[in-house]
Structure 1
Amino acid sequence: MIAYLALSLLVALATAQHDAPCECAVFININGTDVLLTDLPTEYVNFCDQHEPCQSHCASEFDDLTFGGDLSFETDDGPVGQILCSLLGLPVEDEFVSVYSNLCNTTWEDSGDTTLQPLCCDDSSNYYECPVPTTDMTTDMSTTDLSTPAPVPSTATPTTPEPSTTAASTTPEPSTTTMPTSPVMTSEEPVTF
């Protein structure tokens, strides 16, 4: 009788595990609004306080489907970037796509995983590689006099520089986005890449 009770307890414990739904989705922020691009496969974890395993699962799913978040990765359905542009159906420029998790139907949490490149889609939902800003770092060596030695630094006491008359450049603070509990949905079915 004790063996039967122990076996019943083990079966009950085994079936009680994996009952906390871990949903995964791909979002993009457009004009301050987080837009759901697609759902990823749902996984079940043991308890509703297991955020780390849920986030890890979502990041792993995304990495597997996109070859580490590479928008240029070719799937059977075309490049990952084109699939995302088709799902979005809107023009977008220089926005990273992020993976979020939702454990036990609460709020969406950033898994920390994003695409390697920003997403760019034209008005017709065609993917293109976002232009990379370039700076001219080349020097015309034909006009450089290499026979003149470089100046030697002075040993004089440094002076405080005068304030510049040009405007100081400011670096914008990174924006923080709070994920909505009811995101804008553009796709109802999970997409397979």
Structure 2
Amino acid sequence: MNTLIVLLAAVVSLAGAQTDAPECHCGMFITHYHEEYEVHRLPPFDLDDCSAFKRCKKKCALEYDTYTNGGDLNYRLDNGYTVGQEICIQMAQKHNVGDLWDETVYGYARQCNGPWDYDGESSINNLCCSRGHFVKCEE
């Protein structure tokens, strides 16, 4: 019986110790036909506490800027795709949306699983996808 109580106490203490540390999440979103789509998630980072939202937004803006080379959807990533092509693939595969025209890609930040908030960054060129392929937007 004592072994069962000790085991139960250990499980309860481990469960309590697994609370997540305060984190900042960074994402890229578009609005398409009044729907919000997360088109890319950037790596999260730890915060000291959940009151550091300005730091979270600044870090997300920097991450967005680095990933897109200043908001450029034509920027070529290490995998050989452009940022725009990566987004078109994600939209087609995850959301079953293969065609998009003249969409702006916005950067957002979220801390401690709160709501997403615009971090001030957006694409310098528009996103256009045709059948899941990144194409030049017609002017």
TM-score tier by shorter-chain length is 0.7 to 0.9
Counterpart amino acid of residue 75 in structure 1:
L
Provide the C-alpha distance between the structure 2 equivalents of 1:75 and 1:36, rounded to a whole number of angstroms. Answer: 19
Q: CA deviation at 1:47?
A: 2.1
For the aligned residue pairs, the C-alpha RMSD in angstroms reads 1.1
Provide the C-alpha distance between the structure 2 equivalents of 1:120 and 1:43, rounded to a whole number of angstroms. Answer: 30
Q: CA deviation at 1:23?
A: 0.8
Counterpart amino acid of residue 101 in structure 1:
A
Query: Percent of counterpart pairs with the same letter?
Result: 30
Deviations 1:73-130 (A, max 9, x none): 11222111111111111211011011111111110111011111110001x2111121
DSSP 3-state at the match of 2:133: coil
Provide the C-alpha distance between the structure 2 equivalents of 1:39 and 1:73, rounded to a whole number of angstroms. Answer: 17
Deviations 1:56-82 (A, max 9, x none): 111111111111110111122211111
Runs of 4+ in structure 1 over 4 Å off: none
Provide the C-alpha distance between the structure 2 equivalents of 1:42 and 1:76, rounded to a whole number of angstroms. Answer: 20
The yes-or-no answer on 1:96 pairing with 2:104 is yes
For 1:84, which of 87, 96, 100 is the aligned residue?
Answer: 87
Counterpart amino acid of residue 69 in structure 1:
G
What TM-score, normalized by structure 2, do the two folds share? 0.77
Alignment partner, residue 44 of structure 1: 46
Identify unmatched segments of 5+ residues in structure 1: 1-18, 133-193
DSSP 3-state at the match of 1:56: helix
Alignment partner, residue 143 of structure 1: none
Alignment partner, residue 70 of structure 1: 72
DSSP 3-state at the match of 1:75: coil
Deviations 1:163-182 (A, max 9, x none): xxxxxxxxxxxxxxxxxxxx
The yes-or-no answer on 1:127 pairing with 2:134 is yes
Higher strand share: 2
Matched residue pairs, number?
A: 113
Q: CA deviation at 1:38?
A: 2.1
Provide the C-alpha distance between the structure 2 equivalents of 1:60 and 1:129, rounded to a whole number of angstroms. Answer: 26
DSSP 3-state at the match of 1:38: strand
Counterpart amino acid of residue 56 in structure 2:
C
**Larger-gyration structure (1/2):** 1
Counterpart amino acid of residue 130 in structure 1:
C
Higher helix share: 2
What TM-score, normalized by structure 1, do the two folds share? 0.56
Deviations 1:126-184 (A, max 9, x none): 1112122xxxxxxxxxxxxxxxxxxxxxxxxxxxxxxxxxxxxxxxxxxxxxxxxxxxx
The yes-or-no answer on 1:114 pairing with 2:122 is yes
DSSP 3-state at the match of 1:74: coil
